[in-house]
Structure 1
């Protein structure tokens, strides 16, 4: 079984690419408000809310269990892409590499969100991160729903 790989899925969102991207680009402190059943908090550990290279610590719930994810964020404003590169936390106990990415492409009044997780397992018996792509999907849907009702 492969030790590394990539999972990709695409969602159609009601929110515009600009509006959804803005949440991650400069207002990620609002994510717990938009998706409280998945994300309970986020704090800046180094840097700030808007600068690439900043480090944030997320408190989340997955399968009814609390988790922590420390990541370094990067942005590609031209392509409306956000990447969260895992540094520490629960997910890093089983993956050597973990990088979650949202790429937003305008489509009509909404957008397409391509969600990707790139990973490398620490051990061959570690599962591919399907539960984490499910978390990304549900988180994305909740943020989109919240933004579409604002």
Structure 2
């Protein structure tokens, strides 16, 4: 049984690909204002907002529990509206040896589609796949989208 896994989901958005990407990449510290029930806060630990190599600390609520994730911005692709975060500390690493989050936003019609990919390696076979965390990301996407499209 393989301990490595990959989960993906798509979320239809009304906001443009550039708007959504800009929030996730350059303004993640604003997400707690948009979705305080999910994201308690995002702080810049090292580097600059929207720059590769920067480190952010995200305080979030998942499955009813307060959790923390320290993530390094591994790759930013402004042409393809994608950003990749590598989890380097925090609650996820209690169950996973490695955890990487990639979000790519593609224009579609008048809106866009956010494609979330989780690549991970579980510490042991008893750890479940992070399906509820992927659902969390989908719900968060919809809340950010709603904020971006209603603010106009």
- How far residue 25 of structure 1 moved from its aligned partner, in angstroms, is 2.1
Task: Indicate the residue corresponding to 2:46 in structure 1.
Answer: 46
Q: In 2, distance between residues paired with 1:140 and 1:27?
A: 14
Q: In 1, distance between residues paired with 2:69 and 2:79?
A: 27
Q: In 2, distance between residues paired with 1:60 and 1:140?
A: 14
Uncovered stretches (5+) of structure 2, i.e. residues with no partner: none
Aligned residues: 150
Q: In 2, distance between residues paired with 1:96 and 1:77?
A: 29
Task: Indicate the residue corresponding to 1:60 in structure 2.
Answer: 60
Tell me the C-alpha RMSD between the 2 structures: 0.9
Question: Does 2:108 match 1:107?
Answer: yes
Task: Indicate the residue corresponding to 1:15 in structure 2.
Answer: 15
Task: Indicate the residue corresponding to 2:76 in structure 1.
Answer: 75
- How far residue 127 of structure 1 moved from its aligned partner, in angstroms, is 0.5
Q: In 2, distance between residues paired with 1:94 and 1:88?
A: 11
- How far residue 41 of structure 1 moved from its aligned partner, in angstroms, is 0.3
Please report the TM-score for the alignment, with normalisation by the length of structure 1: 0.96
**SS of structure 2 residue aligned to 1:145:** helix
**SS of structure 1 residue aligned to 2:115:** strand
Q: In 1, distance between residues paired with 2:140 and 2:33?
A: 11
After TM superposition, where is structure 1 displaced by more than 4 Å over at least 4 residues in a row? none
Q: In 1, distance between residues paired with 2:19 and 2:78?
A: 13
Uncovered stretches (5+) of structure 1, i.e. residues with no partner: none
**Structure 1 residues 19-28 or 59-68, which shifts more?**
19-28
